[in-house]
Chains A and B, each alone.
Chain A
C-alpha cells in the first residue's frame, strides 16, 4: 500500500493509490481502513479519481447531509450525471428529495416496527423449526444452512413472491452490490446472467405475481391509494428484492461467526437472550455487511480542511467508520457489553436502511432459537470469504455445534 502525503491540486490532501475493490483489500480491508483513517478526514483515491472518508465523524456527517451529498447521481462509482445506469435507478437508494420522499414513506410504513409485529410469532416458530432441523447434524456450513437458509425461508414469503426461482435472489443481489464498484472481474463474472436475473426479478414485482397480504401487495395498495404512482410500485417492490436478502444473509453470517469465535459472548447471550438485539447490531458494527457507498457533492463542500468540489464522487467507508478508535473503545472486539448505537452499518439519515427492522427481527428470531438449543458453536474447518465490491461476506463457515 502506498499512502503518500499529498495529492496534486490539494496542498495537504493525503492520497492513496490502493484499490479498495482489489482482492487484497476485499479479503482483509482492515489495514487499509486503518491507514485511511490515520491519513486524514478526507483522502484522495488516485486510482479512481474520487475522495474517500473513513472516520466516523465525517462519514456520519456526510451520510446525514443529503443536501450537500446527493445519492441521485448513483451510490456506486458510476456517475449517473454522465453514465447511463445498468438498470433503472432505485427510487429509494438512488434518489434524492423530493423524488425520494413518497417511495420512502410508503416503504417505511410497510416495514416499520409496528407493522412487523404480525410477523414476529411466525418467524420465531420458523427459526425454531430450522434450528431443530439443522441440529440433527452436528457439523454444517453456517452460511448455507443458517445465514442463507433463514432469510430465504421467511423473507420472500413476507414479500409475497411465488416459490419458484427464489434461488435467483442471491446471485441477483450479489451482482447488484458488485455493480456499485468499478467494472472489475467481479462485475464481469456476474454480467452473463444479469439480463436473465433482472428479468426474473422484474417479473416478480407485478401485482399478479404477488400474494395478497405480503409487503409487495401493500406497496401496490399504496399505489392504488395514490401514495406512489403505478409506475413507481414495481420499482419499490424491486428494492425489497434487491436489498432485502444478501445484506441480511451477510449480517447473520457475521453474527454467527462472531459468536463462534467469541465463546464467552455466546455464554453471555445464553444467560440473557434479550441481548440478541444488541448482538446483531454489534456484529453489523464490527463487520459492516455493507462496506461502502458513494455520494456525489452537489456543491463545493468544505470538509476536514479541504474542499470537495462540486460533482466529485466521495466514497464513504462505513466499515472503517464502524471501527474508528476515535469513536469506539477496542473497536475490533465483539462485545455484548458495548452499546453499538450510532454505528453507520445501516447508513444514517434519510437513506438509512429502511429494512433494518426486518433484518433485526430475522436475527433476533434466529439467535433466540439457537441460544435456547445450542450450548457452544465452534469453527470446524477453514473459513472462506466471499468477495464483493460492496459487501463484506462469507462464502463458507463450517461450524460444529454442541446441543444444550
Chain B
C-alpha cells in the first residue's frame, strides 16, 4: 500500500516534547549478542530525517546516554532501527537494552546527529569490524543507488556474531566476509597498501581495527579515509530525567521544566515569545544562548566539539544536565 501523506502530522508548534520519547516497536536478535530495535513515535508521527552515518542517543534510566548508528531505511520516515551489541565489559547501557528494555517501552532519544556522513565518490571501500557494520549498512544501500563502484570488507569473531551478514549476501562478491575463527583477521595490506584512485574508505569498528586501517592509509591522499569508532561514547555528565529550573536572564523570570515538557514550551508558557520552526532539533531557529549550567544537547545540529562548548542550545529538544540553566532570554 502506498504511504498516506495525509496521515496526521504535527502542524502546530507546541507538541515538540513527546517527540524525544520513542516507543520500542520491535526487537529481535540480529546475531549472537546483538539485538536490533525498531523505534517509532508513540503517536505514529514522522521522525526527524537522517542520512547514512547518523547516530541517535538513547537516554537510559539514571541518565546513561549511549550512541547507536541508525541502520534502517531512511525512506521509511516512521521508524528508526539500531543494533546493539551486548558488551560484557560495558557500563550497563547495552546490558539494560538487552535485558530490560521491552517491546512497547518508551525510551528518550536525542539526535539524529551525523559525524560520519557519506561524501560523494566514484568508488567506496567499506571496512566494518563487528557491530561497526551498522553505519555502513545504509551507506552500502546508497552507494548502490548512486551507481558507485563499492566493496565491503566485513570482519567479525564468528559468522554467527556478524549482524546483517545474511542481508548483505544479495550483493554477491562486492561483500567479503571474514569470520576470524575461519579465516583470521582481514588482510588489510592487500586491500589498502596501494592507494586507489578516486576511492574513499569508510571504516567503522573497534579501536585496533581502525588504528590498523589508519596506519595502512597514512600514505593515501588526505580526505579519502573516514572512520568512526563504534564504541558508544559515554557522556561525561549524566543527563537529568527529573525537573529542572530555567532562569531567563533578560526577562528575570524562572520556569520549571518537567520531564514531559520541552524547554521551548516551558519558556512560552511563561509568556516569552521564542521563534521555532522544525521543533525537532534540525533547523536551528530556536538557538538560545546558555549563560550558566550545562545543556543536555539533543539536537541534530551541533557536532561533538560544539556540543562540548555548551554556550548555546536548541531549546525545542535539548534539556539540562543539572538542576538549573540560565538562558540568554
Contact = CB atoms under 8 A, between A and B. Distances in A.
The prevalent SS among residues of B at the interface is loop
Contacts of B268: 339
Contacts of B12: 327, 342
Nearest to B309: A114
Nearest to A299: B2
Interface stretch (A56-64, A130-138, A375-383): A56-64
A9 interface: no
B226 to A, nearest CB: 8
Contact of B275 (A60, A67, A105, A341): A341
Given A102-B120, A113-B284, A303-B6, A97 B51 contact: yes
Contacts of B118: 98, 101-102
B245 interface: no
A4 interface: no
B172 interface: no
A67 B75 contact: yes
A226 B226 CA distance: 10
Interface string A269-299: 0000011011001000000000000000001
Contacts of A102: 117-120
B223 A224 contact: yes
Contact of A302 (B4, B11, B145, B306): B4
Nearest to A326: B11
A353 to B, nearest CB: 9
Nearest to B122: A229
B176 interface: no
Interface in A310-365: 327, 337, 339-343, 346, 348-350, 352, 356-357
B271 to A, nearest CB: 10
Given A105-B114, A229-B120, A327-B11, A97 B4 contact: no
Contact of A57 (B2, B9, B49): B9
A41 interface: yes
A65 B120 CA distance: 24
B224 interface: yes
Contact of B277 (A97, A337, A346): A346
A303 B7 CA distance: 8
A304 B273 contact: no
B9 A101 contact: no
B8 to A, nearest CB: 9
A99 B146 contact: yes
B255 interface: no
A275 B328 CA distance: 14
Interface string B275-308: 1111100011101000000000000011000100
Given A97-B51, A98-B145, A226 B119 contact: yes
Nearest to B251: A274
Nearest to B314: A113
Given A101-B51, A112-B301, A356 B285 contact: yes
B167 interface: no
A232 interface: yes
B6 A302 contact: yes
B142 to A, nearest CB: 4
Contacts of B11: 56-57, 60-61, 327, 342
B120 A348 contact: no
A64 B279 CA distance: 13
Greatest chain B CB density within 10 A among A57, A99, A113, A301 is at A113
A98 B13 contact: no
Greatest chain B CB density within 10 A among A41, A101, A227, A348 is at A101
Nearest to A69: B5
Interface residues of B, number: 46
A89 B32 CA distance: 47
A98 B142 contact: yes
B77 interface: yes
Contacts of B74: 97
Contacts of A99: 146
B223 A348 contact: no
B53 to A, nearest CB: 9
A228 interface: yes
Nearest to B284: A113
Interface string B247-275: 00010000000000000000010000111
Nearest to A277: B275
Nearest to A62: B5
B264 to A, nearest CB: 9
Interface in B54-85: 74-75, 77
Contacts of B75: 67
Given A67-B75, A229-B120, A327-B11, A342 B277 contact: yes
Nearest to B139: A98
Contact of B5 (A281, A301, A339): A301
Given A113-B287, A226-B200, A98 B51 contact: yes
B312 interface: yes
A300 interface: yes
Given A67-B3, A114-B306, A281 B284 contact: no
A118 interface: no
B51 A64 contact: no
Given A60-B11, A102-B117, A281 B3 contact: no
B122 to A, nearest CB: 9
A74 B250 CA distance: 45
A68 interface: yes
A82 interface: no
B3 A61 contact: no
B120 A232 contact: yes
B6 A304 contact: yes
Contact of B3 (A56, A301, A327): A301
Interface string A217-233: 00000001111110010
A346 B51 CA distance: 22
B46 interface: yes
A304 B9 CA distance: 13
A113 to B, nearest CB: 5
Q: Which 3 A-B pairs have the closest CB atoms?
A: A226-B223, A341-B276, A98-B142
24 contacts: A62-B5, A97-B74, A98-B142, A98-B145, A101-B118, A102-B117, A102-B119, A102-B120, A112-B284, A113-B287, A224-B223, A225-B222, A226-B121, A226-B200, A227-B223, A274-B250, A278-B273, A278-B275, A302-B6, A340-B275, A341-B285, A343-B277, A346-B277, A348-B278
Given A112-B301, A343-B277, 4 more contacts: A61-B11, A101-B118, A342-B279, A352-B277
Interface of B: 2-6, 9, 11-13, 46, 49, 51-52, 74-75, 77, 114, 117-121, 142, 145-146, 200, 222-224, 250, 268, 273-279, 283-285, 287, 301-302, 306, 312
